Amino acid sequence: MSKKVKITPEVVAEHGLSEEEYEVILDRLGREPNINELGIFSVMWSEHCSYKSSRRHLSKFLTKGDRVIQGPGENAGVIDIDDGDAIIFKMESHNHPSYIEPYQGAATGVGGIMRDVFTMGARPIALMNALRFGEHSHWKTKQLVNGVVAGIGGYGNCVGVPTVGGETNFHKGYNGNILVNAMCVGLARTDKVFYSAAKGVGNPIFYVGSKTGRDGIHGATMASAEFDDNSEEKRPTVQVGDPFTEKLLIEACLELMETDAIIAIQDMGAAGLTSSSIEMADKGGVGVLINLDDVPQREEGMTPYEMMLSESQERMLMVIKPGKEKLAYEIFEKWELDVALIGKTTDTGRLVLKHKKKKVCDIPIAPLADDAPNLNRPYKVPKPLPIINSSDIHETQDYNDALLRIMGSPDICSKRWIWEQYDRHVMTDTLDSSQSGGDAAIIRIHNKNKAVAITTDCTPRYVQADPYQGGKQCVAETWRNLTCVGADPIAITDCLNFGNPEREDIMGQFVGAIEGMNEACRAFDYPVVSGNVSLYNETNGVAIPPTPAVGGVGLIPDLEYFSSISGAKEGDTLIMIGETNGWLGSSIYLREILRREDGAPPPVDLDVEKINGDYIRKLIRNKRVNAVHDCSDGGMAIAACELALTNNIGVHLQRSSGCPLHAWLFGEDQARYLISVEKNSVNPILTTAEDRGVKAYIVGKVGGMNIKAEGAFDLPISTVREKHENFLPELMS
């Protein structure tokens, strides 16, 4: 785009800026911007970069804790896991690009989240994802699943970082907008954490990585707008990734980080060179001068506008200590990466760009960053759906059929077809992953007797029914899942996926969910240290179900004391920790068996969650349990089936409640754990539970080769397994 473009109201609107926002730009500059400056304002003030609709609400989150080294505001969050080790992690969305171009959209989502992590000095050690697709019968779902899974596997496998878990759901609410949320966890030393704040005056600014091309221009703006029937035309705004270059970039950056050459470092993510340079300058309180002629370019005749707004992948920006330039050149050239000195820090507080010896941009940094719009959008939190008494919900006439239908349903079915495409064991430290069917992945800290546990969770149907309770539940379930493997939950990252915030009902969903999430974080001392907001996930005015995905990280301090779903033994007793009242509102049973999506979701009592979870971790560390599994989607019956399938051993459920049979089996009451224990542990567990005020009771036994419940179902494991495994292979065949 030429710098001679006349700035008209139409051009302003094309850049996603409102009339009011443009008036602010005129005020801040004291003049009309040129096209380069307008483009820079447009991406920095986009929803994706500025968080203009969400910032004031995100500030409510608990962000500090005893183990928090760095909370929100940097590329990723940092937590202390003892012995001088730090975990650096974040979750981020790549929703819009993945719908338009599923392979590249998902692949570059993985690449981008890894750069956020190794930018701070961490070697990536694990990847996870949270995926939402439309209903399986929709004409586009198969294509999208195939492309997204291939993109995630293709990028992660080539870089050599294990993809160890995640979640995949299907619902008609995602027909027009799929969600691809990627999470990366990295390992660093606490004394080798790197930050993005540029310091000093006259320090050299280095560009490293791949050359800049025309791919991804206006990617941030595209991600800040809803779709319509012409969204396919936005394909050119999707970036193209190269995992092999990313691998070289990781190694080169980590090598340079072993020296004392780096003052500041920032990856070029959304808005590319624009956001990276502005964020570094703003955080450090300096200005920057960049000579665009020195930027490595992949294509001829690139304009300043194109170079600044390109989102070409595998690129980093660094401020290097004076005198260390030669060292930087040597390391990056050794790894066969493009490297160039493109500018310097200044004391002006301005972004100045030169191109062909002419100044093509001269604007203050502050209005582009912290002074960006911070909107107080009106909102109306939706009223929760009414409570449905379980006795008013029809009982199935065929429990065998009901169990098989739920076990074979899109959300509950085996995701083997997906995870078999991911390398789960590269780097050799994966102790548990998606293939076990357990609650959290476990990654050993290399050559040490400790591990981190990782999980991602969200139950959108709960958030849809009651944003506040649903928000609490998202956080609580990650906390439970980490607890199931014996980890001490430390902190979360999140990816908040919602529709158009200009609608009061959507903004109300967002605010309600945050209120619930924050309450849970404070109850568990479980802070938010990083995250991402993805808004405008809707097509032709139809929004996605509200989906605040949460990624949790915990520490297993001693690998002698951890648990999983896979330790159940013949003759074990099944004990339920937590009360079963048979809550069926917004349940899987209601949706899959009765084709209803109504009713208030199960309430989340955070005090009970805390008491029960602490008790489970104590049992694990006292070696009182053989297997532990969170009781969530589908209730006790589904938790028991998953335990049976993982261990290839039967279970026999024995009724222990006065609630209706279908509610007892399929109710989704919260704060519950299904544990498998040896006979000699039964009485001590029941006794100590009572002493602690924990509800604990026998619900069955382990043994045989059938999955059965008295008065309900009785099926061979092989029959349940076949139904459980078939959905995705049949869909993708």
Q: What is the pLDDT of residue 503?
A: 97
> How many residues are given for the chain?
733
Dig out the tokens for 321 from the structure.
């200590």
Question: Encoding tokens for residue 699?
Answer: 């619900």
| Residue of 94, 136, 218, 629 with catalytic role | 94
Spatial separation of the C-alpha atoms in residues 483 and 489, rounded to whole Å: 7
* Residue of 142, 151, 141 whose CA lies nearest to 177: 141
- Tokens 């050559």 label which residue? 447
Amino acid at 468: Y
Q: Is 94 a catalytic residue?
A: yes
**pTM of this prediction exceeds 0.85:** yes
What's the confidence (pLDDT) of residue 701? Answer: 98
Tokens of residue 298, six digits? 């992949």
Torsion sign across C-alpha atoms 335, 116, 481, 589: negative
Q: For 67, phi and psi rounded to 5 degrees? A: -100, 5
Q: At what angle do helices 606-621 and 504-524 cross, to 10 degrees?
A: 40
What type of residue is 426?
V
- For the chain, 733 residues long, the average pLDDT of each consecutive 10-residue run is 77 93 94 96 92 96 98 97 98 94 95 97 98 97 98 96 97 97 98 97 97 78 53 61 95 97 93 94 97 96 94 95 97 97 97 97 92 93 94 96 98 97 94 93 97 98 98 98 98 98 97 98 98 95 97 97 95 98 98 97 98 98 97 98 98 91 98 97 97 97 97 98 97 95
CA dist 629 and 673 (Å) reads 6
Rg value, the chain, Cα? 26
Query: Helix or strand or coil: residue 509?
Result: helix
Cα 113 versus chain centre, distance: 10
Report the distance separating Cα 399 and Cα 421, nearest Å.
34
- pLDDT at position 229, please? 58
Q: What is the CB neighbour count within 10 angstroms for residue 662?
A: 23
Which of these, 711, 564, 568, 719, lies nearest to 651 by C-alpha position? Answer: 568
What local confidence, expressed as pLDDT, does residue 1 receive? 46
Kindly list the strands in the beta sheet with 68-70, ordered across the sheet, starting from the edge strand earlier in the chain: 68-70, 77-80, 85-93, 179-189, 123-133, 163-170
Closest listed residue to residue 614, CA positions, set 693, 679, 519? 693
Burial class (CB in 10 A: 0-12, 13-18, 19+), 623: exposed
Rounded Cα distance, 698 and 93, in Å? 42
